[in-house]
Amino acid sequence: MTISTVGIIGAGTMGNGIAQACAVSGINVVMVDISEAAVQKGIATVGGSLDRLIKKEKISEADKAAALARIKGSTSYDDLKAAQIVIEAATENYDLKVKILQQIDALVAPEVILASNTSSISITKLAAVTGRADKFIGMHFFNPVPMMALVEIIRGLQTSDATHDSVKALAETLGKSPITVKNAPGFVVNRILVPMINEAFFVLAEGLATPEDIDAGMKLGCNQPIGPLALADMIGLDVCLAVMDVYLEEFGDSKYRPCPLLKEMVAAGRLGRKTGRGVYQY
């Protein structure tokens, strides 16, 4: 299947990032959110991101104008009928995703592929709530989407080869480097990454080192571009906790027990950069 129009549900950080990646690659986008204000904020974010690329002389003003012209913002799911694939990029909440996916499944043509940008929820389980499980797949982009090369393509038990091949080709068209992953909690990257972040919170809670020294140790000793605690602040401590909770529930293994300090900070509303305070102050 040739994909010329991508539907995106959610105009937040991930949704507008995916929209930008598609638009600069010559693919039309329909980006839907619940309010006009959310849609316009998403489009404005794309515009600001493109402005930064102009300053770095990576694109021209004409490139920016062409990319923005390819993005149609909407508050109506009906506009998604023009897409060959619809990517759900809503909040990491199973019940919400199911509600959205069932609405889209009933609306778009039978041949349309449905994808979820989930970072931890079972693709097999999400596929099963739709009437097109063979055309359902995970497309896990990484933040910030325009800059990060990786896309995890997650096959549910029911995902067809044709669906996988179409989505892999789309990722490559976007200039990404996709990896194919079997369905399992956290897939590959977050399965390794989030428990490492959780362990960094245990190290912090035990007073073994300051946040700055923990992060410096991992940057200088493991060649990581950002320390795990600073990364947790960027991801959102609530997201890290939610992912650990999924692992603990799905695997039933105590090694995935969320650090009490992480839970305490989330309870206090110290979620990281988005609230101005997490491990660090912003």
Residues serving a catalytic function are 119, 140, 152, 190
SS3 of the chain: CCCCEEEEECCCHHHHHHHHHHHHCCCEEEEECCCHHHHHHHHHHHHHHHHHHHHCCCCCHHHHHHHHHCEEEECCHHHHHHCCEEEECCCCCHHHHHHHHHHHHHHCCCCCEEEECCCCCCHHHHHCCCCCHHHEEEEEECCCCCCCCEEEEEECCCCCHHHHHHHHHHHHHCCCEEEEEECCCCCCHHHHHHHHHHHHHHHHHCCCCCHHHHHHHHHHHHCCCCCHHHHHHHHCHHHHHHHHHHHHHHHCCHHHCCCHHHHHHHHCCCCEHHHCECCCEC
Neighbours of 111 (CB within 10 A): 9
Closest CA to 1 of 139, 146, 164: 164
b/e sequence 183-192, b meaning 16+ C-beta within 10 Å? bebbbbebbe
